[in-house]
Structure 1
């Protein structure tokens, strides 16, 4: 994997080659990683005798935090809980992150990249980690359905605007939860 400085240097070089100045917009994933992973199989080994199909609940949350002047950490938190009549079959909690380099992009577009596009890029890798974790817990791999992060982002912006219009007050930029 490329390190943070290589990616930022590459972004610099692309901008400088384009017009001799560092004013070209650029954004990219520097690296991605599992920050935290928890797998629980609380009813083992009895759970492997259960005959009913578990109900699977998927919850996710997106966050972003500045880690430097031009680097942000985007965190995709996913919690999977599978339950059946007799109890919880398994729980998987994953915090999958990516370091994102952003340069010369307006605040509104940077926000959209951090909360919609970066999670879209990271999701397939997080999905694989979840499938492997569920399989390693002794169950068939769980392939989480794709998520329309861009659509969710737009929905949240619209909901926030409606809320602001209803209250008549000025609010800060949209929050990062999806």
Structure 2
């Protein structure tokens, strides 16, 4: 019996994540069309840009910042610009060091995204427009895209480096 237990690998503790708090870190809504007296007749084009950042605050505690920039245009005229930095403070335990970076930039933003969606909807509605309901964000694809961008940037730097 003791031999059976010795042969089994030790139980690995599963990763744990706890949202300690979440908050608007910074927000700006510029209602360009109304300020300039422009009347928006057709459906404006909406562009959404998302970027992420994370930093360690204390042992097992991290701040993850989800930056969203939304620009609405009708032709060449800007209708509105919404910039939102929404952050969450997380307690993360039992995540191997080599998996911590993707965990922070994929799983943590996914947890707070519904709140970002609600804020964007409320602000656009309060700005005098139909509420903008953001589509879900594929944080895994966003993470992979950023890794590829960094890798290409590194290769470009290496190619430009002088050879001794």
TM-score by length of 1: 0.71
CA RMSD of aligned residues (A): 2.5
Quote the offset at 1:104 in angstroms.
Answer: 3.2
User: Does the 8 A contact of 2:40 with 2:79 survive in 1?
Assistant: no
3-state SS of the aligned residue for 1:121? helix
Match of 2:113 among 123, 126, 131: 123
3-state SS of the aligned residue for 1:143? coil
2:56 maps to 1:70 = no
Larger Cα-atom Rg = 2
**Any gaps of 5 or more consecutive residues in structure 1?**
1-22, 168-178
3-state SS of the aligned residue for 2:135? coil
User: Does the 8 A contact of 1:26 with 1:102 survive in 2?
Assistant: yes
Cα distance in 1 for partners of 2:47, 2:15 equals 39
**Any gaps of 5 or more consecutive residues in structure 2?**
1-12, 159-164
3-state SS of the aligned residue for 2:125? helix
More strand by share: 2
What number of residue pairs does the alignment pair up? 146
Cα distance in 1 for partners of 2:131, 2:75 equals 21
Residue matched to 1:17 = none
Q: Which runs of 4+ in 1 moved over 6 A?
A: 161-166
TM-score by length of 2: 0.77
